[in-house]
Amino acid sequence: MNKEMSETLVRTGPGTPMGNLMRRYWVPVLQSSEIAEPDGPQVRVQILGEKLLAFRDTSGCAGLINEFCSHRGVSLYFGRNEEGGIRCAYHGLKFDLSGQCVDVPSAPQVCSRMSIKAYPCIERGGIVWAYMGPADKKPAPPEVEWCNLPPSHVYVSRRLQECNYLQAMEGGIDTSHVSYVHRYEVDIDPMHQGTKANDYIKADGNVIFDIEKTPFGLTLFGRRNGEPDSYYWRVTQWLFPWFTLIPPFGDHALGGHVWVPIDEYHCWAWSINFHPNKSLSAEERRDMERGKGIHVEYEPGTFRPKANKDNDYLIDRVAQKDKRAYSGVFGFSMQDASLQESMGPIQDHEAERLLPTDKAIVMARRMLHEAALGLEQGIEPLALDASAQRVRAAGVLLERSANPTDWAKEHLADGINQSVYSV
Ligand code: FES
Ligand SMILES: [Fe+2]
């Protein structure tokens, strides 16, 4: 990828083309449970290069405001969350959910001039989402399947990843790596083990992709050998601009991610598991809380994984030799994150030499680039229609002569009302 394109894609701060583009979609900010109580402690969170403060006000509504007081720039993290807003601890200015200044004790007459930036919020799938774009362009709330399921059916976690969002998200789009870095983990992980999918993925490391452009983004059809008379197809979606869905493994919970820039060098990797038609079992929930599957264990009191770049992700060379962990790192997410962070905080895209399996990544980059530059020219971006997000990943054995796109048209259109296709 050339320098101009790379620079456009990786910079997402205020006023950048990519930043403007991303601000046209609802952005996951933090888990609802992090600000569980009305008038409970406010939480600092950085998104798209902006330092913000999330809180739940007296009425129970979630809000996202600028972290800093308009008076002399004190962090409102140290303020008081009470009686419908946050009061700055320094001289008592008070701000409500909409960022409006509602009290200047020393000079009430200037109140209307002291407001701060605020973004409207909604809650879906246990996540507080904010809309950070122009007020008159706010899209409908996301309809990605897990957003609208009952809380009992969904488990959500967020993890700090110490690299640019693009190289992290590209791991979510590229399913060809599963045959390598996750090769041994799939057999021991409670949320993947015991499925035919594992056998096919391990037996055929040479996945061939068909990729289809769709109203929501891309559908990837990854072909591996199945039984002697069939192919095993893994159907994955990338939902513009930052959602990825994971093809299912047997009867285990379905999964997906969202990749949200914090700044140029960090991103939030959201990991979601869900059952469309039933609750997650107590055992599944316990495994997820323990950091199994696509979730991780954290450094206490943080969203930084316990296995991180300062300890070489707890690499175990014996486990690597013994074929228990392909790279020596344990856990799907840390296997991916360790490799993605090893590229450097921003991958040197000019130096890369892409392969045929990178076709989907190339298409995704082009779509993001085109949309970001298009928006500068006043062209409305794609995938603003939330109803197009009602899709589901699948894994299926099809006769060798079958066309997977025809199969998908029949079985995956409005996927969330169909059966789960999984082997
Ligand atoms: S700095 Fe916040 S009230 Fe003075
Ligand atoms: Fe992965």
Give the tens place of pLDDT for each residue, 56-111.
999 999 999 999 999 999 999 999 999 999 999 999 999 999 999 999 999 999 99
Whether 103 and 94 have beta carbons less than 8 Å apart is answered as: yes
Distance of alpha carbon 242 from alpha carbon 292, whole angstroms = 23
Rg of the chain over all Cα atoms, to the nearest angstrom:
22
The pocket of ion ligand 2, defined by CB under 5 A, consists of 336
Contacting residues for 57 by C-beta, under 8 A, at least 6 apart: 38, 39, 63, 81, 84, 85, 96, 97
Contacting residues for 342 by C-beta, under 8 A, at least 6 apart: none
In the structure encoding, which two tokens stand for residue 90, read together?
A: 């320094």
Whether ligand 1 lies within 6 angstroms of the CB of 77 is answered as no
* Cα 108 to middle of ligand 1, angstroms: 14
Ligand 1: which residue has its CA nearest to atom 4?
A: 91
Give the tens place of pLDDT for each residue, 199-236.
998 888 888 999 999 999 999 999 999 999 999 999 99
Q: DSSP for 340-390, please give it.
A: HHHT-SS--GGG----GGGHHHHHHHHHHHHHHHHHHTTPPPS---GGGG-
Q: Which of 26, 13, 8 minimizes the C-alpha distance to 373?
A: 8
151 pLDDT above the threshold of 90: yes
Which ligand 1 atom sits closest to the C-alpha of 104?
A: 3
Please report which residue ranges of 190-290 form alpha helices under DSSP H: 196-203, 282-289
Whether ligand 1 lies within 6 angstroms of the CB of 396 is answered as no
* Cα 249 to middle of ligand 2, angstroms: 14
Whether 390 and 142 have beta carbons less than 8 Å apart is answered as: no
Q: Do you find a cis peptide bond into 381, omega within 30 degrees of 0?
A: no
pTM for the model stands at: 0.95
For residue 185, the model assigns a pLDDT of 85
* Cα 107 to middle of ligand 1, angstroms: 12
* Cα 167 to middle of ligand 2, angstroms: 12
For residue 411, the model assigns a pLDDT of 84
For residue 419, the model assigns a pLDDT of 85
Ligand 1: which residue has its CA nearest to atom 3?
A: 91
DSSP for residue 269:
E
Whether ligand 1 lies within 6 angstroms of the CB of 90 is answered as yes
Which of 74, 87, 95, 113, when mutated, tests ligand 1's pocket best, judged by the most ligand atoms within 8 Å of its CB?
A: 74
Whether ligand 1 lies within 6 angstroms of the CB of 43 is answered as no
Judging by beta carbons within 10 Å of its beta carbon (0-12, 13-18, 19+), is residue 107 exposed, middle or buried?
Answer: exposed
Whether ligand 1 lies within 6 angstroms of the CB of 80 is answered as no
Whether ligand 1 lies within 6 angstroms of the CB of 69 is answered as yes
* Cα 320 to middle of ligand 2, angstroms: 17
CA 90 to chain centre: 36
Give the tens place of pLDDT for each residue, 290-342.
999 999 999 999 999 999 999 999 999 999 999 999 999 999 999 999 999 99
Find tokens 């507080």 and name the residue: 128
